Structure formats: C-alpha cells, structure tokens
Structure 1
Amino acid sequence: MRLTIVSVGHKMPDWVATATIEIKEIKPDLTLAKEAVKIAAAIPKGSRVIALDERGKDQTTQNLATQLASWRQEGFDITFLIGGADGLDPSLKTTAQAIWRLSSLTLPHAMARVLLVEQLYRAWTILQGHPYHRE
C-alpha cells in the first residue's frame, strides 16, 4: 500500500520535508478550480482519495488504524488531500471516497501535514502491536 499526501502550499519549513510518506506539493493558484486541476493531476491512478476538510468526519486513531488495515488487505493506495487557505474545490470533495477532518481547530497547512503523518505513524504502530500508542 502506498500513501500519498497532496497538499496546497509553498515555502514550507524544512522540517515538513522530513516525513517518510510521499508529499506532493501543489503551488497555490488564484482559484480553487485551477488548484483542483493541479491536485487531480497529482493523484496517483487507482488511488483512493481522502479529502481533509474542517467540516469532514472526525476520526479516532484506532479507527484510522482499522481503516489502514482494511486498505492494506484490499491492496488500495491512498491519497490524502490537504487544501490551501480556502480549502479544497467542491469537485475534489465530491469525487473523494471520504471527507475527514484532523481537528476542530484551524491548523496551518504545514501543521496539518505533520499531524497527518504522525497519526499515520501512530496507526501503523497500533497495527504492529508496538507500544508507542497508549489508550
């Protein structure tokens, strides 16, 4: 299973690039529709898409681990979309398999990337029985 994050943003701090999950950065555009074209082109073929949006469905770390296990068993690649300052174009949310939110708080895009990567790591440790995650 391959995990990809497609995120709108520019001039991210150096620490954002240290993640081991592939992050494809899309430069912001004047309209959400133009960004959507760039984002859609960056989504790997056949990948399941999870759009991250402040109005999306809350997830727990345990639910994420369960979902990752299911995707891995089914052989799906997953792409997470993080929008720019104005979010994601509605067309991307409509075509996504799910819309999740990372937090009820407003997060800067660089922090959203790091939070997502940390939660993916935590979910993997749950699946491996590693003691990193504690209930």
Structure 2
Amino acid sequence: MPAWVLTGVEDYLKRIQPFVQTQFVELPMAKRGKNDSEADILKYCQIEGESILSALKPNEILIALEVNGREFSTEKLASTMQEWMLSGQDIALAIGGPDGLSQAIKQKAVWHWSLSKLTLPHPLVRVMLIEQLYRGMTINHNHPYHRA
C-alpha cells in the first residue's frame, strides 16, 4: 500500500480505539497475470473468498463492501454501528480485490454496503472506510468531529 494509505489508516485507527476496538486484517491477493481470462479472474475471486472465509472468526457477522450494496448517510451508519455494538456481535467488513468479491462471500454476507456508486481504488476505500467508521463513532459519542 502507498505510504499515504498507511498513514491515513493508522491515524484513524488510533482515533477510533477509545470508542471501539478495530483492526485491519490484510489478506494476500491471488497472483494475477497480464492476459487473464474471465475463468482466471473467477478463480482469483474464489481463492480470495476462501481466504476471507477462513479468516473469519465464528462469532463475526460478515458485511461485504461492494458497489451494488446499500448506500447509507453518515447518520444512518452511526445508528447502525450503535445497533452492532448493542448486539454484542463482532463485525467483519470485507473489501474485495481488484476483481471484486466471490459469490461465496456475497452469499455469506449478512448485508452489502456501498460507499459509493463510483468505482474507487481499493487503497482509497480503506481510508474512506475507517474515516466513516470513526465519524460514526464520534456522532454516537457526541464528539465534535462530525459537524453537519
């Protein structure tokens, strides 16, 4: 990951820790070639999906980040996060590789979340995701970070 991504993610991870324990788990991408067929791409998604599923803890609820998922306002995200915390269940948010998420991940996910209908580079998604999670927590704790 580029240095700006690591810096941004580390900054928001530090900020969010007083509110909720949060971590990023990076799984290796399947190796890709220059002239991959659609079958190759499907295989990569399946390999990555298996990797995500094997990394899940038994009590984690899986949420898939994908372009066709539901979009939320920041305020709705904050109230959803509050529901997650009250339920006492751990949440795992899955960001797919460059070719998206496997069907196994899409089927296992409790719901699908879209940060935007725009196509976003995966490094930027990491920063946007942790920032929005932090913003949601600040709303829930009446912290002045969110001023809307």
Q: What's the TM-score bracket when you normalise by the shorter of the two chains?
A: 0.7 to 0.9
**Letter aligned with residue 84 of structure 2:** W
Structure 1 residue 15: Cα displacement: 3.8
Calculate the TM-score normalised by the size of structure 1. Answer: 0.86
Structure 2's unaligned 5+ residue stretches are 14-21, 32-43
Q: Counterpart of 2:94?
A: 81
Q: Which amino acid aligns with 1:80?
A: L
Q: Which amino acid aligns with 2:106?
A: K
Which stretches of structure 1, 4 residues or more, deviate above 4 A after TM superposition?
Answer: none
Counting matched residue pairs gives 124
Q: Which has the larger radius of gyration?
A: 2
Find out whether 1:93 has 2:106 as its counterpart.
yes
**Gapped runs of 5+ residues in structure 1?**
1-11
Could you say what secondary structure the match of 1:22 adopts? coil
- Identity within the alignment, %: 40
TM-score normalised by the chain length of structure 2: 0.79
Specify the code of the residue in structure 1 equivalent to 2:3: D
Question: CA–CA distance in 2 between the matches of 1:42 and 1:102?
Answer: 23
Equivalent residue for 2:133? 120
SS in 1 for 2:77: helix
1:14 aligns with 2:13: no
Looking at structure 2, the residues matched to 67 and 96 of structure 1 have their Cα atoms a distance apart, in angstroms, of 16
Correspondence for 1:4: none
Q: How far off is 1:45 after superposition?
A: 2.1
Q: Secondary structure at the match of 2:24?
A: strand
Between structures 1 and 2, the one with greater strand share: 1
Residue equivalent to 2:25: 24
20-29 vs 50-59, which deviates more?
A: 20-29
Q: RMSD across aligned C-alpha pairs, in angstroms?
A: 1.2
Q: 2:55 aligns with which of 42, 45, 48?
A: 42
Determine which structure has the larger helix proportion and give its number. Answer: 2
Partner-residue secondary structure (3-state), 1:69: helix
